Amino acid sequence: MEKRISAMLLLLSLTSLVWSGEIKETLRAPESGDVYSSESASKGKNSGTISGVVKDKATGECLPGANVFLKDMSRGAATNVQGEFTITQVPPGTHTLIAKYIGYKEGSLSVVVDPGAKVFRTFNLVYAGIKGETVEITAQAEGQMEAINQQLSARTIKNIVAADRIQEIPDVNAAESVARLPGISIIRSGGEGQKVAIRGMEPKYNVMMVNGVRMQSTDRDDRSVDLNMISPNLLSGIEVTKAVTADMDADAVGGTVNLKISQASEGFHVNFSAQGGYGSVANNYGNYKTTGLVSNRFFNNKLGVQVAGSIDEYDRSSDVLSASYTTNEEQTKIKGLTVIDLNSVGISDMATTRKRSGGGLILDYRMPNGNLLLSNFVSNLSSDYISMENSLGVQGSQFNSISRVGDDNSNTVYSNALQGDFDLFGAKMDFSLSNSVSRQDVPDNLYMRVIAEQDQKGFETPLNETATPSEFLNSVKVYHNIFRVKHLESLQRDVVESEQNAMIDFSIPYSFTNHLTGNIRFGGKYRYDKRENDETVRWVHPDRDKPSQVFTAMMKDSLWTDLGLVLDDTGNGIHAHLFEDADYDIGNFLSGRENVNKFYYTADIDKMRHYETLARKWGYYFLDPLSSNQYDYTYKGTLYAYYIMTELNLGRYVMLMPGIRYENWTTDYDAFGTTYIGPEWYDYYNEKVTSKRERERWFPQIHLRLKPVDWFDLRLASTRTIIYPDYRAFSPYYYHDKGAPALVLGNTELVPAIAQNYDIYASLYHNYIGLLTCGYFYKEIDDLITPFTFQTTDASKINYKVPLHQTKNTVIGTWINLKDRTFVRGFEVDWQTNFWYLPSMLSGLVFNINYSHMKSETKYPYQTMVKKGTGPFGKMVYVDTTRAGRMPQQADDILNTTVGYDFRGFSARLSFLFQGNVVGAIAPRIELDSFTDDYYRWDLIVNQKLPWKGFQLYCNASNLTNRPDRHYTSTLELLSYAGYYGRTVDLGVRYRF
């Protein structure tokens, strides 16, 4: 139905414009003066070129996104980030050249173009104001107008965060900046944005780039990219493209995010800031951030050099209350749902420090017929943490304590690119050669698990599974004297992904008449990427296997004093109180809001580390084959693509842009298959497994922009995109536990999912209104890939990869392509304006608001047991079925509101974010689905210029109301997670000239 509606709207829009006076004029028969269609060779020889720059008359700053065109012709161009424009195929003669920029008065110049000549013109536009009054453009209004103009001049559907908005009032990281745009929700980690979902599509379904260079995945398993490692101070703008064109990578199903780093502007410039801050969870005043940028141009402004850097450290500590649930089939249903009971409750205190550092070196060289750009970018996020976790199982009164410590865990991304654009005999050529790398490094994360002695209850409580998590925790009485150290374990992880990319594009202009012009664009791309995933897990089990028991006895007999402990007893294992840190301070846990104020066990980190050192030294720190082998693989992939597209302009009122893209994708995997025989942990064997696959696909794309009047345009797009499988999902690895029996494995037979996308976007703009946009989008996704757990004895369901037990069902975890089609639909409304026309102090008001509503539906597979037959001969069998649900990470509603105010040297921005609940996990039963609570937060940024030229004082306050993250199980909203990250306040000084 939605496809038919889109097609009908497209047809109606074209029909109405064809019969309008403007298009009738555009499609008139050529007259004698229109020699361009019949004498193309002569035309190419005689036509001229107009180039130039558009600037703000008062400040001299360039205006990117300005619309420059020849009056009464379809020829025109939008200015680039340097405010430059070039119009080719200009007929000889006298022309009127017009420049428009929202928020400024229109400019016009008379231009005489001789045959084959190149003419340069400069526009100095005047900021719009009330007649007879002088109006000064404010910092926030300038950034807003820059974004509006770039968005309107884009060929496709695009949202933009402009340089001025990022630099004047920056967010904490790039994810927070991107999430202020319509249709984008944020996934948080430690209270700050980490990844973004675009139009309900998970982060792994989107493409992240820096200056047009694709960033590599920072996740162990999938294709998603963390944006919290990037400081916005390094950026000059952010572009989010929501409808791809044929010259773009086809795997941007939700959208493409391009983080832009500017080139050096004319003159010597310095921008430096330093700040310190406070985090409320840990009551810590040690937060800091320092940024710097230096740029200049040399050799008559031909060579530009810009160096930028940023370093910060933040306390991202958190307190968490969690719970899990199970179904109770014996109770009467509530609201048609099976009753679910409390299964376990957990509390966690995590002290985390994150350090972020990054920098960029941009070199550009301007030549008479083109430009060269060498960009280098690096960003790193490292973290140190200590975590204390207590978990209490309702059934059987089971107690677990896990203490974790990790130092120098890091994610690093860097890229290098040589890019160029040149004018060649009237045509344009762009090229890019790039190298991009991401690395995840976990040098040695250690954790210790403490449990009650075997067959012993860890606690007692008068309450049962009907209690709330807080009630349950406050009612228990734990038995510390029976706690034992079950095991110590350490993890080392090294994931490196690199990509080398070569791309070339050609654009050739053409014209049939003065009102029917365009260009044809074609090109190709080659991409080679490699990913190596290496994990090593080692452990010692004091109360489990015989070798570890030997080591424990050795420790007690001769080495025990190394830990500063007293020999406790000679029983099996180690008493946990010998490793306890009774003085561990959990602070104001959960901000005092959840009525939980105590922990039951906290470990001494120094003793944990010492015990690990001794186990390694004496050879009793053993390799865990399951955890070490199933995540190890080497992936090599190649992709080559070709495309051709055209941009056809009918006057200034219609732009049609059809195109088609071809992509060929090959993969080559090396991984491990592990078979565990038992009963001892070392009773297993490995084999090397490989896989090679090749896929190819065509991607037709079409865009239409209709502009019946100067203050309105309508954009329509039909595009096709692809979802490649996650790295681990497509790996040939397997782990087969024959005793259980259980099997986890990748699926090398997966096919990429294909999405058909439709977009309708309307924009209304005026100096007094600003920009008002309304858009509708609709996606149909076939063969969506999802994880699936099932039980079977039929080896054909796993392509006979390993033989299965024939008398007992094997529990299998893998990935599959869904048979049913997935649907995603929604609409977006965005209004950006400033009130420059209001009197006096009120003219400094700036307002932004956007709202998005989305809905998705897919059918997830699951197994259920049914009884076949009756009486004593009936038996329970597994039956495959499906159930409907939302896409993961899809929020139904997103609202962003920002109110800014500038007056003389004072600037402030108050922002509000609302994000509706998001599905976290789809369970086999609707009663056990998990989802987040509605989330909202307030942030405030204040900036004041100081009496000394170039100096500013600023204050950033985030999460003003200390809003926690809450998750629930079931539509009955049973609390499963409450995370408190506190508020942060930063005070700093900035210097720039």
3-state secondary structure of 616: helix
Q: In what order do the strands lie in the sheet with 48-56?
A: 84-90, 48-56, 118-125
Of residues 820 and 16, more confidence is placed in 820
Is residue 900 packed enough to be buried (19+ CB in 10 Å), middle (13-18) or exposed (0-12)?
A: buried
Q: Which residue in the block uniquely carries the two structure tokens 């630099």?
A: 167
Q: Is residue 853 predicted with pLDDT exceeding 90?
A: yes
pLDDT digits (tens, 9 = 90+) for 397-411: 899 999 999 999 999
Q: Is residue 683 predicted with pLDDT exceeding 70?
A: yes
Confidence of residue 565 (pLDDT cuts 50, 70, 90): low
For the record, the structure tokens of 230 come out as 């990037």
pLDDT at residue number 629: 82
**Is residue 921 situated within a structural domain?**
no
CA-to-CA distance for 818 and 816, rounded, in angstroms?
Answer: 6
In 684-733, beta strands by DSSP E:
684-709, 712-723
Confidence of residue 988 (pLDDT cuts 50, 70, 90): very high
pLDDT at residue number 819: 93
Closest Cα to residue 834, out of 23, 130, 145? 145
Confidence of residue 906 (pLDDT cuts 50, 70, 90): very high
pTM over 0.85: yes
83 backbone φψ class: left, alpha, beta (φ>0; ψ -120 to 50): left
Residues paired with residue 792 on neighbouring β-strands, in sequence order: 810
Q: What is the mean pLDDT of residues 674-703?
A: 91
Is residue 347 packed enough to be buried (19+ CB in 10 Å), middle (13-18) or exposed (0-12)?
A: buried
Q: What is the mean pLDDT of residues 920-938?
A: 84
> Any idea which of 116-125, 241-250, 695-704 has the lowest mean pLDDT?
116-125
Q: Is residue 942 predicted with pLDDT exceeding 70?
A: yes
Whether 143 and 254 share a structural domain: yes
Whether 188 and 256 share a structural domain: yes
Closest Cα to residue 543, out of 520, 575, 565? 575
Whether 154 and 244 share a structural domain: yes
Q: By the 8 A CB rule, do 982 and 279 touch? A: yes
pLDDT at residue number 843: 87
pLDDT at residue number 557: 63
Is residue 213 packed enough to be buried (19+ CB in 10 Å), middle (13-18) or exposed (0-12)?
A: buried
Number of Cβ atoms within 10 Å of the Cβ of 623: 13
Chosen domain end from 94, 125, 156: 125
Q: Which residue in the block uniquely carries the two structure tokens 């649930």?
A: 325
> Any idea which of 15-19, 312-316, 754-758, 858-862 has the lowest mean pLDDT?
15-19
Is residue 660 packed enough to be buried (19+ CB in 10 Å), middle (13-18) or exposed (0-12)?
A: middle
**Is residue 918 situated within a structural domain?**
no
H or E element at residue 375: strand 370-393
pLDDT at residue number 30: 35
pLDDT at residue number 870: 73
Whether 156 and 242 share a structural domain: yes
Whether 150 and 250 share a structural domain: yes
Q: By the 8 A CB rule, do 580 and 492 touch? A: no
Q: By the 8 A CB rule, do 79 and 85 touch? A: yes
Whether 109 and 150 share a structural domain: no
CA-to-CA distance for 27 and 651, rounded, in angstroms?
Answer: 9
Q: How many CA atoms lie within 13 A of 470 on its CB side?
A: 13
Chosen domain end from 125, 157, 191: 125
CA-to-CA distance for 702 and 389, rounded, in angstroms?
Answer: 53
DSSP per-residue codes, 61-109? -B-TT-EEEETTSS-EEE--TTSEEEEEEEPSEEEEEEEE-TTB--EEE
3-state secondary structure of 939: strand
Number of Cβ atoms within 10 Å of the Cβ of 75: 22
**Is residue 222 situated within a structural domain?**
yes
| CB neighbour list of residue 1: distance below 8 Å, 6 or more residues apart | none
Q: By the 8 A CB rule, do 646 and 519 touch? A: yes
Whether 166 and 254 share a structural domain: yes
Q: Is residue 341 predicted with pLDDT exceeding 80?
A: yes
Closest Cα to residue 896, out of 832, 933, 850? 850
Highest averaged pLDDT of the listed ranges 281-285, 610-614, 761-765: 761-765
> Any idea which of 325-334, 349-358, 971-980 has the lowest mean pLDDT?
325-334
Of residues 207 and 992, more confidence is placed in 207
Q: Is residue 502 predicted with pLDDT exceeding 70?
A: yes
Q: What is the mean pLDDT of residues 865-880?
A: 73
Output helix, strand, coil percentages for the chain, rounded to the nearest 5.
15, 55, 30
Whether 194 and 121 share a structural domain: no
Closest Cα to residue 623, out of 668, 684, 671? 684
pLDDT at residue number 22: 35
Q: By the 8 A CB rule, do 425 and 380 touch? A: no
Cis peptide bond prior to 741, omega within 30° of 0: yes
Q: What is the mean pLDDT of residues 934-952?
A: 92
Cα angle 860, 862, 865 (rounded to 5 degrees) comes to 155
CA–CA distance from 152 to each of 198, 409, 509 (Å)? 20, 42, 22
**Is residue 267 situated within a structural domain?**
no
Q: How many CA atoms lie within 13 A of 496 on its CB side?
A: 4
pLDDT at residue number 38: 35
Confidence of residue 567 (pLDDT cuts 50, 70, 90): low
Cis peptide bond prior to 872, omega within 30° of 0: no
3-state secondary structure of 232: helix
Structural domains in the chain (count) = 2
Closest Cα to residue 721, out of 238, 199, 226? 199
Is residue 455 packed enough to be buried (19+ CB in 10 Å), middle (13-18) or exposed (0-12)?
A: exposed
CA-to-CA distance for 613 and 551, rounded, in angstroms?
Answer: 13
Confidence of residue 840 (pLDDT cuts 50, 70, 90): confident
Whether 116 and 48 share a structural domain: yes
List, in sequence order, the alpha helices (H) in 578-672: 605-617, 625-629
Residues paired with residue 902 on neighbouring β-strands, in sequence order: 907
**Is residue 18 situated within a structural domain?**
no
**Is residue 710 situated within a structural domain?**
no
Confidence of residue 585 (pLDDT cuts 50, 70, 90): confident
- CATH value at residue 43: 2.60.40.10
Whether 151 and 115 share a structural domain: no
Q: Is residue 568 predicted with pLDDT exceeding 80?
A: no
CA-to-CA distance for 135 and 836, rounded, in angstroms?
Answer: 7
CA-to-CA distance for 434 and 412, rounded, in angstroms?
Answer: 17
Of residues 554 and 202, more confidence is placed in 202
**Over the chain, what is the mean pLDDT?**
87
For the record, the structure tokens of 948 come out as 């000394």
Note down the domain range covering 49: 35-125
Q: Is residue 759 predicted with pLDDT exceeding 70?
A: yes
pLDDT at residue number 70: 92
Q: What is the mean pLDDT of residues 364-386?
A: 95
Closest Cα to residue 66, out of 50, 82, 89, 49? 82
Whether 202 and 172 share a structural domain: yes
**Is residue 150 situated within a structural domain?**
yes
CA-to-CA distance for 50 and 89, rounded, in angstroms?
Answer: 9
- CATH value at residue 198: 2.170.130.10
CA-to-CA distance for 852 and 894, rounded, in angstroms?
Answer: 5
Q: By the 8 A CB rule, do 651 and 592 touch? A: no
Query: Three-class SS string for 754-815?
Result: EEEEEEEEEEEEECCCEEEEEEEEEEEEECCEEEEEEEECCHHHHCCCCCCCCCCCEEEEEE
Q: By the 8 A CB rule, do 774 and 828 touch? A: yes
Number of Cβ atoms within 10 Å of the Cβ of 947: 6
Whether 148 and 120 share a structural domain: no
CA-to-CA distance for 243 and 720, rounded, in angstroms?
Answer: 9
Cα angle 756, 762, 765 (rounded to 5 degrees) comes to 150
Q: What is the mean pLDDT of residues 501-505?
A: 97
For the record, the structure tokens of 854 come out as 């989305």
Q: By the 8 A CB rule, do 137 and 127 touch? A: yes
CA-to-CA distance for 160 and 115, rounded, in angstroms?
Answer: 39
Chosen domain end from 197, 228, 260: 260
CA–CA distance from 177 to each of 173, 382, 469, 770, 906 (Å)? 7, 21, 36, 21, 22
Of residues 925 and 519, more confidence is placed in 519
pLDDT digits (tens, 9 = 90+) for 14-63: 333 333 333 333 333 333 333 333 334 344 557 889 999 999 988 888 99
pLDDT digits (tens, 9 = 90+) for 164-198: 777 766 778 889 889 889 999 999 888 888 999 99
**Is residue 64 situated within a structural domain?**
yes
